[in-house]
Amino acid sequence: MAYHTATGEGVGVMFCPGYRSDMHSTKATALGEWCAVNNIPYTRFDYFGHGKSEGDFKDFTIGAAMMDALEILDSVATGDQILVGSSMGAWVALNAALERKGQVRGLVGVASAPDFTERLMYARFTPEQRREMSDNGLIWAHSEFTESDYPITQHFIEEARTHLLLDDIIGLEIPIHLLHGQADVDVPWETSLTLAERLMGDEVTLTLIKDGDHRLNRPDDLRLMMDALGRMVGT
């Protein structure tokens, strides 16, 4: 697994990328610069089949992403951590926080997309796509961000159903700050509202950016992310 880590003092920050993204995204690198300026330990990584990590993307699953995050938490980003998750990465970060409650001290979710495989992906499949997936075990989807097709396998959808969070109370009582753009056409901002309602703890803040899209990587968007993170680490 490919990763990058930098030393510092105090509570560390670990970044979980989004689906089909990697540790060299605008948010990931901006966080690295902010942590360096503030002398905060920082770790970022690529999931199986993503970025510079090994593996065939066709074999990628949500469970694999969650295991990767836990491995990085246990082996690289040791000590207390604040997790920052982008899109799918927020789903991964929430799971990691549930699995490592004594280590994860806070969480920032950016355009959080828990359960996106079921609520936003499978739910939007046409009858023809569902039939094709049933017959062939996968379909090919198109991304406007990369202008290339990518595979979505039946196994990816079915495996993700074992990790769904939004149907139950999420047993986390740590500071959590959610940021979501109301112009997000990929993951509706109501997803973060539902997530905030499901979280058990009281220290949950939701910030909506009226003109923000899914990426939330403009300078003002990044500043909001850093401000939320700064309050958690005490800078």
CA-to-CA distance for 74 and 56, rounded, in angstroms? 24
Give per-residue pLDDT as tens, 138-188: 999 987 666 678 999 999 999 999 999 999 999 999 999 999 999 999 999
Residues classed as catalytic: 87, 184, 214
Helix, strand and coil content of the chain, in percent to the nearest 5, comes to 40, 20, 40
Q: What is the pLDDT of residue 142?
A: 81
* Mean pLDDT, residues 28-34: 97
Please name the residues in contact with 120: beta carbons below 8 A apart, sequence gap of 6 or more: 113, 186, 187, 188, 191
Domains and CATH numbers, the chain: 3-116+170-233 (3.40.50.1820)
Q: Do 67 and 165 meet the contact criterion of CB atoms below 8 Å apart?
A: no
Looking at the chain, the whole-number percentage of residues with pLDDT higher than 70 is 98
CA-to-CA distance for 156 and 124, rounded, in angstroms? 15
CA-to-CA distance for 200 and 188, rounded, in angstroms? 22
